[in-house]
Amino acid sequence: MRVCSGASARYIQSCSVTLMLIVKAFGGLAFLMALIGLTLFFAAGDLSYWQARVFLAVFGVSVLAITLYLVAKDRALLERRVEAGPLAERQAAQKLLQLIAGLAFVGIFVVAGLDHRLGWTRVAMSTTIVGNLLVAVGLLIVFFVFRENTFTSATIDVAPDQQVISTGPYRIVRHPMYSGVMIMLAGVPLALGSRTALLSVFPIAAAIVVRLLDEERFLARNLPGYNSYCARVRKRLVPLLW
């Protein structure tokens, strides 16, 4: 009986931890979607802002699908991803970079909403469609990265059992997740019908590049085999270019 009781207690504890992780993941997603939606519609002053509605659907469904996949297939990676943002970083420089990127990300929606309200720029419907396609493709690349690499932490770190991943999208560039994020970010302003909001993408891109270089230095010091991988895969972010 004692063995059964102990096993039952461990099972209950495991279920409790898993439930908390799932609640945290979906709670974070709900908060993100609410933040984006409120920012967009408040800045636009127009609940009929159809570009925002379509973007929220494309972005929300894509991120929800990724989250559901992680819940079903890779909860260890989900746990690594839910701890994100400036407070989760260990280095002061990374905290600052994450803060800048986060503020600029919100800035995309503020500027896009104001652009819609004040009519600074106008884009064709075809451009809006292309923007949403870029958002979907960028997040699809992120999904492929998550499927290939269970060690894709939201912070710069090396797990005790971590190995160098050189398959899938990692055969093309060394940081395919950042490549996907950059494609997604390029599509967001266009999807929202705002060329002006593209200006907010540049600080995020700069923060990603600085973070990427810092991450490479860290991995070269702490992940066995990473230097050899870098010698084989020469491009960091953009195939054939850099």
Overall CATH class of domain 2-232: mainly alpha
Orientation angle between helical segments 50-73 and 176-191, nearest 10 degrees? 160
Residues 96-151: tens digit of each pLDDT: 888 889 999 999 999 999 999 999 998 999 999 999 999 999 999 999 999 999 99
Residues 40-98: tens digit of each pLDDT: 999 999 999 999 999 999 999 999 999 999 999 998 888 888 876 666 667 777 888 88
Mean of the per-residue pLDDT values of the chain: 89
Residues 17-32: tens digit of each pLDDT: 677 888 888 998 999 9
Q: Where are the domains of the chain?
A: 2-232
